[in-house]
């Protein structure tokens, strides 16, 4: 993806936004879109927690990965389109509302996808979202002669893949369905890359970074809400609340630290300059999925600490520590490493390793993992101050 410039368009036409526009912020419609999509995120997290509590780890993780792909990919495509083309007119708003409706259909199908591995309702919601998204490329094709190659490939590619998603629902063999599902995921991921062979998407780097940051905030908020409800429920039936208090405190430290680490630097400065927009954008699947699954893990850990659930202590702890470590590593790969120098480069990978070791601490695992994350933030802040002082002294 290459940053482009806006070409003037007649009134009512869909033209590319100015990629150098100052004070470009997310619109109320984009924020509404995010809030509605997080309903599906929360539903997926709750079902993942339930599957882990039943000891169905492999099944739960595979269903979660599949459902979360539908949520993330639909959200991401809309966000990149809106950063380039956002006329904010009636057709655009209606198409956005249709995509929101599709996301709610996806959320309604999540329980069936987990319980019976039946993705029919999820796919129906996903196709609704994608068809509404493809319709917007028809408008771009009509109003932007210089971008018709991009619009035809992106919109047409989406339509073709949706046809195969519908046909896949006619396949009854589990092995063939899983193979087809994986192939269509790859096809979806390749559509934007193939589309850009016909033209470059004009995106605003700081706006798209803000869009991703806001969705990260909402997912972290959903994580806090899910953990709070779970811990509250466990406390109501548990006499000794000390371990639950430590669990809650450790969970908050993890979320607070994740926020601090993610927003420590301006990601918009990286896009198109020091990192690939594809790597950064696609890598956020793991950021969002792991952040949301921390909340699911907190539910599992709270149930285990409160005496509910038949799973092992290691699995209960790992349901929080593993996604936390994964989140730290991916944020480091996508963003933090570009801003670190010298020994500071090793802080986050070391923290991720320490968090994984906390898995073996039983009921104190989440608390210790939270302390590790907080220590990483402190070391990061202290290291940057030392670096600033050293630079000033050298000057």
> Mind spelling out the 3-state secondary structure of 241-283?
CHHHHHHHHHHHHHHHHHHHHHCCCCHHHCECCCECHHHHHHH
Show pLDDT as tens, one digit a residue, over the chain (395 residues).
Answer: 444 444 444 555 777 777 777 778 889 999 999 999 999 999 999 999 999 998 899 999 999 999 999 999 999 999 999 998 888 889 999 999 999 999 999 999 999 999 999 999 999 999 999 999 999 999 999 998 999 999 999 999 999 999 999 999 999 999 999 999 999 999 999 999 999 998 888 888 889 999 999 999 999 998 898 888 877 777 776 656 888 889 999 999 999 999 999 998 888 888 867 788 889 999 999 999 999 999 999 999 988 887 766 789 899 999 999 999 999 999 999 988 888 776 777 889 999 999 999 999 988 999 999 999 999 998 877 766 545 444 333 33
Q: How many residues does the chain have?
A: 395
- Tokens (6 digits) for 88: 């904010």
Nearest alpha carbon to residue 4 among 67, 64, 82, 84: 84
Angle between helices 28-53 and 90-116 (to 10 degrees): 0
C-alpha distances out from residue 326 to 224, 265, 329, Å: 18, 19, 5
Task: Identify the residue whose tokens are 């038949």.
Answer: 310
- Tokens (6 digits) for 85: 């083309």
Q: Which domains, ranges and CATH numbers included, belong to the chain? A: 28-195 (no CATH), 205-394 (1.20.1410)
In the 8-state DSSP scheme, what is residue 18? Answer: P
In the 8-state DSSP scheme, what is residue 344? Answer: G
């Amino acid at each position: 993806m290459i940053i482009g410039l806006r070409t003037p368009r007649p009134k009512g036409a869909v033209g590319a936004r100015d990629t150098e526009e100052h004070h470009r912020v997310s619109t109320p419609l984009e924020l509404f879109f995010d809030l509605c999509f997080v309903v599906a995120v929360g539903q997926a997290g709750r079902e993942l927690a339930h599957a882990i509590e039943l000891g169905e780890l492999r099944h739960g993780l595979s269903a979660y990965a599949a459902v979360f792909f539908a949520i993330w990919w639909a959200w991401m495509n809309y966000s990149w389109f809106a950063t380039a083309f956002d006329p904010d007119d009636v057709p655009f708003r209606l198409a956005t509302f249709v995509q929101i409706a599709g996301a709610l259909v996806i959320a309604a199908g999540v329980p069936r996808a987990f319980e019976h591995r039946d993705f029919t309702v999820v796919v129906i919601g996903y196709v609704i979202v994608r068809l509404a998204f493809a319709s917007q490329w028809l408008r771009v094709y009509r109003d932007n002669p210089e971008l018709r190659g991009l619009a035809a490939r992106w919109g047409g590619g989406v339509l073709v893949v949706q046809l195969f998603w519908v046909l896949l629902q006619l396949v009854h063999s589990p092995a063939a369905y899983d193979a087809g599902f994986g192939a269509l995921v790859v096809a979806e991921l390749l559509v934007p890359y193939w589309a850009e062979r016909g033209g470059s998407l004009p995106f605003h780097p700081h706006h798209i970074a803000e869009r991703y940051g806001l969705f990260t905030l909402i997912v972290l908020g959903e994580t806090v809400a899910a953990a709070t409800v779970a811990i509250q429920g466990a406390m109501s039936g548990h006499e000794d609340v000390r371990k639950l208090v430590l669990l809650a405190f450790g969970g908050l430290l993890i979320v607070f630290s994740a926020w601090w680490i993610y927003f420590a630097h301006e990601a918009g400065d990286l896009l198109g300059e020091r990192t690939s927009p594809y790597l950064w954008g696609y890598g956020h699947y793991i950021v969002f999925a792991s952040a949301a699954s921390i909340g699911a893990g907190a539910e599992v850990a709270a149930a285990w600490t409160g005496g509910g659930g038949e799973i092992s202590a290691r699995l209960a702890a790992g349901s929080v520590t593993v996604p936390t470590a994964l989140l730290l590593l991916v944020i480091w790969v996508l963003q933090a490493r570009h801003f670190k120098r010298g020994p500071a480069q090793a802080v986050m990978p070391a923290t991720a390793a320490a968090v994984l070791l906390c898995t073996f601490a039983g009921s104190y695992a989440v608390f210790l993992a939270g302390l590790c994350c907080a220590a990483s933030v402190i070391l990061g802040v202290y290291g940057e101050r030392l670096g600033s002082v050293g630079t000033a002294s050298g000057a």
